[in-house]
Structure 1
Amino acid sequence: MRHVLCAGIIVAVGVLAGCKFQVVPRAVESKPQANIVGTFKFERRWQGTDLNTGGGCLVFQNAAPLACDAGAFCQANKPAGAGYGYCLHKSVSVWGAQGKGPQQCWWQPTPASCLRGTPVDPLKVGETYRTTPAVLAKPPGTKPVVRWRVLTCTNIKQGACADPNAKDGEDRMYLAGPIWSN
């Protein structure tokens, strides 16, 4: 019995040592005065990266979604005042499976709607982070229905999440969270 218990502990320790890191999108949270923030968590997972940098952004979509094939199209067609544009699948994504079906444009409400870890100030395992600052659930100039979600980026190569020329799935991994509507 003692040998079985010891072997189980050794296997468990070996499993933990082999874990990778992921920045995982969570929910959009309501705040006072019709504001919202996005949440994400830095977790140990079976799939991921050895780096502990990346971050999360709150992103929105107007009532009439724009179909896209690449982020460059979304950048060129962003609403006035919006931040960076992303071309995402509607479905929630998991590591290595970025969803199916048509892609649509999503944008940061402002360039400051993200929170990123850095090599100097890395993300901490198990901690939940909130995007700052809180933004209006209905930004000026948007149509009546606005959809929100959290988009996270995990660096596979250091600094790739901030590099517009980095390759998705090779240099960085985007994960899109559940959609929230106001």
Structure 2
Amino acid sequence: MRQVLHAGLIVAVGVMVGCKFQVVPRAVEPLAQGKIVGTFKFERRWQGTDLNTGGGCLVFQNAAPLTCDGGAFCQANKPAGAGYGYCLSKSVSVWGAQGKGPQQCWWQPAPASCLRGTLVEPLKVGEVYRTTPAVAAKPPGSKPVVRWRVLTCTNIAQGKCADPNAGDGERMYLAGPIWSN
């Protein structure tokens, strides 16, 4: 009993002192009429940042994924109907842009499908946000099978999620589960 109580006190103190914040991706949600929406949540976590800015984007990948070694390759090889491109690992990403495994291109649909918290309108802990209004599950010009996921970015240094030249130590990407239509 004493150890349980003692452990409970340690956990309680740790939650108050050691908490940071992260923008956490959630699953892509299918809607009526061939539309989808992406969501993310701003949560307290052990790893993260003291900042309450960042955001999330709905991103897609065509049936034949392109292997990449950087975002510039994805930008140069984006399909019709695609906006900004990311070079991401298939596994859920962790600190910085990459997790483990081969990297593949993912793109925002055009127009961009993102929502970002700002200094003027920061993200609120526990709130679930939509990346955008619903978008077509099959972007114009995409191949028959399309995979979707939510990609979130947490600012480690203010404004770095919006900076294409930011380093891995200045922002944190997380990629949600893959949904196929």
Higher mean C-alpha displacement, 48-57 vs 17-26: 17-26
Give 1:13 shift.
4.0
Report percent identity of matched pairs: 87
In structure 1, give the amino acid aligned to 2:156.
I
Give 1:141 shift.
1.0
Q: TM-score, normalised by structure 1?
A: 0.91
In structure 2, what is the equivalent of residue 179 of structure 1? 178
CA–CA distance in structure 2, aligned partners of residues 179 and 54 of structure 1: 21
CA–CA distance in structure 2, aligned partners of residues 140 and 98 of structure 1: 28
CA–CA distance in structure 2, aligned partners of residues 12 and 100 of structure 1: 33
In structure 1, what is the equivalent of residue 90 of structure 2? 90
| Aligned structure 1 segments of 4 or more residues deviating by more than 6 angstroms | 4-7
Does 2:30 match 1:66? no
Number of positions where the alignment pairs a residue of Structure 1 with one of Structure 2: 180
Give 1:111 shift.
3.8
CA–CA distance in structure 2, aligned partners of residues 108 and 25 of structure 1: 15
Q: Show CA shifts across 1:123-159 (max 9, x none).
A: 0101111111211111121111000000000000000
Runs (5+) with no aligned partner, structure 2: none
CA–CA distance in structure 1, aligned partners of residues 133 and 99 of structure 2: 29
Q: TM-score, normalised by structure 2?
A: 0.91
CA–CA distance in structure 2, aligned partners of residues 139 and 7 of structure 1: 51
Higher mean C-alpha displacement, 96-105 vs 57-66: 96-105
1:3-82 paired onto structure 2 within 5 Å = 12-82=12-82
Runs (5+) with no aligned partner, structure 1: none
